[in-house]
Structure 1
Amino acid sequence: MLHKADTSFSERSAGFTWFFSFLIKFDRVKKEADGPIFLLLDEPGLTLHGTAQGDLLRFFSEKLSPHHQIMYSTHSPFMVPHENLATSRIVEDLVKIDDRSRRIPTGTKVREDVLSVDRDSVFPLQGALGYAITQTLFIGKHTILVEGPSDILYMKALSAELLRRGRTGLDPQWVICPSGGLDKIQAFVSLFAGNDLDVIALSDFSRKDRNKLEALRRSQVLKSGGLLTIADFVDQDEADIEDLIDPALFCTIVNTAYELPEDHALDTTKLSAANENTERQVKKAEAFFNVLPNKRPVFDHFLPASWLISNPSTLNGEKTAVTSTLDRAEKLFEALNSLKGDID
């Protein structure tokens, strides 16, 4: 026992009491019955926690349904079999409005078209689908949490070129998922806790993030060594995903993505001088764009990454700017791949 204390049955939770009583009653009825049983239940597991309702639903599916017929009513999204919605029915107490605007009850109707009814009736189904989607969308057994969508595009582009060259790219079993930053990683991991997932995180890093980074490591929501920063793979204290890219190549990507005219084109000298208070290329680029003429676009992280993934030949060739970029990316992917667990 966890707390080394006995708790009488009468002091147990309402949910536990219901479930235990149901098992005892069902076992007795099954012994007395001659053949399969038809189970008709009204709001089963109403007092159970949401995850316990999911366990009850799985018990119905795996232990009872193969041998007996079950029909039950529920308002709980956790009692809706989202993987088999075709077995669900909507029950409505319908009222018809006649020509004189009088409400005429038409009785209770059972409908198979579960997604074509009024919003209130379909709410449990929407809840079940919403929960199921959040447990699977963008998530795989092996997941890397990154800052945002631009990180995904840069990593995909660099990995594809490395693999094309026969070098080490990102293991295809990894699923890259945007988390929105260090602040949201702990909540994100907690949301999917219990799903037997292998989750690590790759974060940008600035000095102001140091305390957040240490707090996240102390929280132990990620496995040991499962929190990496881009600064670990470049020769500077602060870094974003863009700092894997050689400055000359980064300037080429930015100039082409934004179609900057020659007199306003970015080069390594302008990039370095744009903001001497930071080493981060993306912050330097932002500062450079801020002093361009008013009609020039505002710099954002996504457009250069989107352009690169659409123009992979930019990473072809043996120019120093390209090879040094790929060397840094390969070290990153080797480190990420080494953290992949044995979950299958």
Structure 2
Amino acid sequence: MYFSVYDRMNAVVHLPTLNDRESDGTLFTNDQLRGDRLFWEFLEYSGVSLKDILGATTFESFNARLQAASNVLTEEILEYWTQNQDIEVRVSVAEGRSGDPAPFNSGAVGRARIYNQLHRADTSFSERSAGFTWFFSFLIKFDRVKKEAKGKVLLLLDEPGLTLHGLAQADLLRYFSEKLSPYHQMIYSTHSPFMVPHENLMASRIVQDLVKVGDNGRRTPTGTQVREDVLNADRDSVFPLQGALGYSLTQTLFVGKHTILVEGPGDILYLRALSAELARRSRTGLDPSWVLCPAGGIDKIHSFVSLFGGNNLDVIALSDYTKKDRNKLDALKRSHIIKAGGVLTMADFTAQEEADVEDLFDAQLFCSIINGTYQLSGGNELDPAKLKAADESTERQVKKAEAYFRVLHGVPEFDHFTPSAWLLANPGVLSGDAPEVASTLGRAETLFKALNALRKS
């Protein structure tokens, strides 16, 4: 079954006429009546047929049938339309009013209306957004397909969901997975990244128009190819897949409900290494329910929280701090985008006016990590005295290390990430009871206790 045109249900139908067209078969053969046919299917879908409604002889039985239809339809649409959970589908039947256009000015007229519980108002189905009317009509149509198909059906859908919001397209994919795929095989075409199943990307195929470019630069078409190597197609063809991957990545940066925004990936590794050692000693490490996410600094925290705030996450920030960051930090706290008390800096835990994550480490221990990372020995070996003298204008150890490396020859350039990765791979540096280890773990434990106390239950 191939679908390239997706009908939209009419919001108002003349029930006696609809009944006549059902009886003589024109409802199912005349393409001009597709909208009315969907209304008939809409009633059948609810379990209350047109004949049930027209055959009701008392108000109570009549009203019960309409309410039953409304309830069934509301439950179904709310299951697969997560954009608005305050709506109800209501089916009404009333005598046509003389001022309405024919044939709706006499006889029984059926109407589909959408009631918004939040605003306590209803509107005609036809006045809803194009995406909503499309989605609702699609659910009705394909329920009929599923029920009436004899045996299994290969469904071919051309560009479904074009009028839908990105999140509504995700709802449509869920409908495909739960309602159609278990019963039928399905292939659909799309240009939308939101219609690409990022959790099963290799089920996708790229349809690529191949072109051969001659030595003289002339382009000659060589045919169309359906490719399984979806990530190796040309840039234009692979764009929807890139979009799907990008969206998936942004949604999984926060892989837990409780998130701590830190400066960069190096901060994550340092904090993980310190927490693991404290846990090994049965002391307080970072609560495992916290997820550490690199935000890139105070400047970007506001954007990060704004982007992901809709996910109802418990977010706090732990930032490096310099004097020039004071105004930015105050503005972030005043914005209330992060809960009160949820913006912390490394300076709060190091007794320094300016501090980075590296300042949690005692100077002797920090020098040991640097020496191990870059295999410094002999005259190049770093010690606390050399570290302090490298740049006396700052108390930040990472800036002192950068200054020290600038005067060394024959060693790799210093960066923030490599020492943290080395520490994570060499946890033995944090073992033992040396004074520099004890003081470092003490500062780290104080930090983790403060972070854990900010976690929402």
Q: TM-score range by the shorter chain?
A: 0.7 to 0.9
Task: Note the 1:162-311 alignment, pairs <5 A.
Answer: 162-263=278-379, 265-290=381-406, 292=407, 298-311=413-426
Find 2:264's aligned residue among 117, 128, 148.
148
Q: Classify 1:79/1:306 alpha carbon distance in 2 versus 1 (closer, same or farther; 3 Å).
A: closer
RMSD: 3.8
TM-superposed deviation, 1:89: 4.5
Higher relative contact order (CA 8 A, sep 6+): 1
Q: Classify 1:274/1:102 alpha carbon distance in 2 versus 1 (closer, same or farther; 3 Å).
A: closer
Amino acid at match of 2:440: T
Q: Any idea what SS the aligned residue of 2:353 has?
A: coil
TM-superposed deviation, 1:253: 2.9
Q: Classify 1:43/1:238 alpha carbon distance in 2 versus 1 (closer, same or farther; 3 Å).
A: same
Q: Classify 1:9/1:210 alpha carbon distance in 2 versus 1 (closer, same or farther; 3 Å).
A: farther
- In the superposition, the TM-score normalised over structure 2's length comes to 0.61
Rounded Cα–Cα distance in structure 2 between residues aligned with 1:339 and 1:132: 28
Q: Conserved in 1, the CA contact under 8 Å of 2:262 and 2:292?
A: yes
Q: Residue deviations 1:181-204, cap 9 Å, x none?
A: 122223333444444544332211
Rounded Cα–Cα distance in structure 2 between residues aligned with 1:276 and 1:102: 64
Equivalent residue, structure 2, for 1:328: 443
Amino acid at match of 2:173: L
Rounded Cα–Cα distance in structure 1 between residues aligned with 2:222 and 2:429: 69
Q: Residue deviations 1:167-222, cap 9 Å, x none?
A: 12223343333222122223333444444544332211111112222333334443
TM-superposed deviation, 1:327: 0.5
TM-superposed deviation, 1:22: 3.4
Rounded Cα–Cα distance in structure 1 between residues aligned with 2:377 and 2:321: 32
Equivalent residue, structure 1, for 2:165: 49
Moved more, 217-226 or 74-83: 217-226
Rounded Cα–Cα distance in structure 1 between residues aligned with 2:304 and 2:344: 16
Rounded Cα–Cα distance in structure 2 between residues aligned with 1:289 and 1:91: 52
Equivalent residue, structure 2, for 1:73: 189
Equivalent residue, structure 1, for 2:427: 312
Q: Conserved in 1, the CA contact under 8 Å of 2:209 and 2:221?
A: no
Moved more, 242-251 or 299-308: 299-308
Q: Which has the larger radius of gyration?
A: 2
How many pairs were matched up?
338
Residue 273 of structure 2 corresponds to residue 157 of structure 1: yes
Gaps of 5+ in 2: 1-115
Equivalent residue, structure 1, for 2:176: 60
TM-superposed deviation, 1:240: 0.7
- In the superposition, the TM-score normalised over structure 1's length comes to 0.78
Q: Residue deviations 1:64-121, cap 9 Å, x none?
A: 4445665432211111222234554555677899xxx996886x77666655655544
Rounded Cα–Cα distance in structure 1 between residues aligned with 2:422 and 2:137: 62
Q: Conserved in 2, the CA contact under 8 Å of 1:41 and 1:73?
A: yes
Q: Classify 1:111/1:265 alpha carbon distance in 2 versus 1 (closer, same or farther; 3 Å).
A: closer
Percent identity between matched residues is 70
